[in-house]
Amino acid sequence: MSYQLPVISYQLSVISYQLSVISYQLPVISYQLSVISYQLSVISYHCSLFTVHCLRRRG
């Protein structure tokens, strides 16, 4: 039983390392998502301006 303890502690350290990596990546991912949503809103704003411009030229 004693030889399993180092293996268990090693696995726990690996798990804690993976969790720390995940917790580091989460704010980065959320930042990238906010940037993407900002770019999408800018694109939709330009599309609406273009649509209004086209409708005015027709009318």
Q: Report how far apart, in Å, the C-alpha atoms of 56 and of each of 24, 31, 34, 43, 49 are.
A: 49, 38, 33, 20, 11
Alpha-helix residue ranges (DSSP H) falling in 1-59: 4-58
Mean pLDDT throughout 23-38? 96
Residue 36 in any domain: the answer is yes
Instruction: Show the domain range for 50.
Output: 29-59
**The pLDDT of residue 21 is above 90:** yes
Task: Identify the pLDDT of residue 1.
Answer: 62
Task: Identify the pLDDT of residue 57.
Answer: 86
40: pLDDT confidence band, cut at 50, 70 and 90?
very high
Q: Report how far apart, in Å, the C-alpha atoms of 11 and of each of 17, 33, 45 are.
A: 10, 32, 50
Q: How many domains does the chain have?
A: 1
Mean pLDDT throughout 45-56? 93
For residue 5 the two structure tokens come to 């303890």
Task: Identify the pLDDT of residue 6.
Answer: 92
Residue 12 in any domain: the answer is no
**The pLDDT of residue 59 is above 90:** no
Residue 20 in any domain: the answer is no
